[in-house]
Amino acid sequence: MAVGKDQVLAALAQIPAPDGQPLTRAGVLSDIVASDGKVFFSLTVDAAAVQAWEPVRKRAEDAVRAIAGVQSAMVALTAERRPGAAAARPAQPVARGPGPTPATPGHGHGHGQGIVGVPGVESIIAVASGKGGVGKSTTAVNLALGLRDLGLRVGILDADIYGPSLPKLLAIRERPQTIGGTRLKPISRYGLTVMSIGFLIEEETPMIWRGPMVMSALTQMLREVEWGELDIMVVDMPPGTGDAQLTMAQQVPLKGAVIVSTPQDLALIDARRGIAMFKRVNVPVLGIVENMSYFLCPECGSRSDIFGHGGARHEAERLGVPFLGEVPLHMTIREKSDAGLPVVATEPEGEHAVIYRAIAAKVRDQLAIGAKPAPKIVIEA
Ligand SMILES: Nc1ncnc2c1ncn2[C@@H]1O[C@H](COP(=O)(O)OP(=O)(O)O)[C@@H](O)[C@H]1O
Ligand SMILES: [Mg+2]
């Protein structure tokens, strides 16, 4: 028996909002998606009233689950971002490097007052791109592995709602197990601690639902996962610079962001937007990685700059953000990446691993992770 929207609405009409009026009249309901016995919708509420709304969300979910024919129900609470809220925030100094500001204990920057860090995790960084398909996930995975090779304890969180990649890039087929029924145990792969939004959101979930759902899924992945002690967590962000990305940048206590771009002009325009977005929320940009920078012929080893390489380096200079390195367009990177065998893990002595480790070292140095002084690496200018 198909579950209809009307049945859902009838059930919700029985539930009072915090001010006592029926939930269906509170003006917070999104459109309701009901298909194959699965029901999704969200309640968009004032950020300040989230606590009062949480029990309502729970009751709504339970009520929908109780409808005959409903197999699963997911009700997400999305905090409303008032127009201009991000821009209207009081300007805060960007305190870079170590030394937490008093307002945000545990963070080295002024972004997101009130955002709580993840216990046991020293630094969280984002890997972002202005658009999809530039190799963001491939970079995130190999960067994480490069950081691992530097002796750090590394986690990787796949927050890309549009295309969760980590299950594929790390060949993870199992689902995370729960601990004590409430907390999730992350997956371990190549020495990395891994969680993916792909584990929590079904692939068939319609795109419009991913936005609202991702907020609760993201919170869950940060707060309800046994990350353990980590020096650094790398977050594979959704591509682009829309609302979903901005909200995420505001919700995750980020120490910095790495922007991935291809050398093409268009991608660079997108990258610029990405940089602007992080600056707006006071997250320091750790630098730009130019991916698919040049083509390295696997037969002859000769190099050709098919996309007009060097654009990202130039752009980084212009924008005053560090340039972290260039990764060639190479069949091995593609094949290994898509087979779940990332190059840094499976060809640690190869030329690509060397490049990713150098990028990782620059990221580590910028974050000054761990109190121990890093060995000095002298790079000729
Ligand atoms: N440097 C590279 N050389 C060759 N192929 C690459 C490189 N970086 C990424 N790819 C390939 O490009 C595709 C998109 O990469 P992916 O990391 O999934 O991008 P995104 O996360 O930005 O969508 C994948 O098939 C990946 O294997
Ligand atoms: Mg991806």
Query: How does pLDDT run across 258-290, given as a tens digit for each residue?
Result: 999 988 776 778 888 889 989 888 899 999 999
Q: Assign 296 to helix, strand or coil.
A: strand
> What's the 292 CA to ligand 1 centre distance in angstroms?
8
Do 364 and 375 contact (CB within 8 A), yes or no?
A: no
Of all protein residues, the one whose alpha carbon is nearest to atom 2 of ligand 1 is 329
Q: pLDDT at position 232, please?
A: 97
Do 11 and 29 contact (CB within 8 A), yes or no?
A: no
Distance of CA 290 to the CA centre of its chain: 19
Tokens of 86: 């991000």
Most informative mutation of 145, 161, 334, 341 for ligand 1 (most atoms within 8 A of CB): 334
Q: How far apart are CA 171 and CA 149, in angstroms?
A: 20
Is 165 close to ligand 1, i.e. is its CB under 6 Å away? yes
Is 327 close to ligand 1, i.e. is its CB under 6 Å away? yes
pLDDT of residue 87 exceeding 50: no
pLDDT of residue 212 exceeding 70: no
Tokens of 281: 């929320």
Tokens of 2: 């198909």
Q: pLDDT at position 249, please?
A: 82
> What's the 81 CA to ligand 1 centre distance in angstroms?
33
Is 255 close to ligand 1, i.e. is its CB under 6 Å away? no
> What's the 70 CA to ligand 1 centre distance in angstroms?
39
Q: pLDDT at position 379, please?
A: 55
Query: Ligand 2 is a single-atom ion; what residues have CB below 5 A from it?
Result: 137, 160, 165
Q: How far apart are CA 207 and CA 162, in angstroms?
A: 7
Is 335 close to ligand 1, i.e. is its CB under 6 Å away? no
Is 159 close to ligand 1, i.e. is its CB under 6 Å away? no
pLDDT of residue 227 exceeding 90: yes
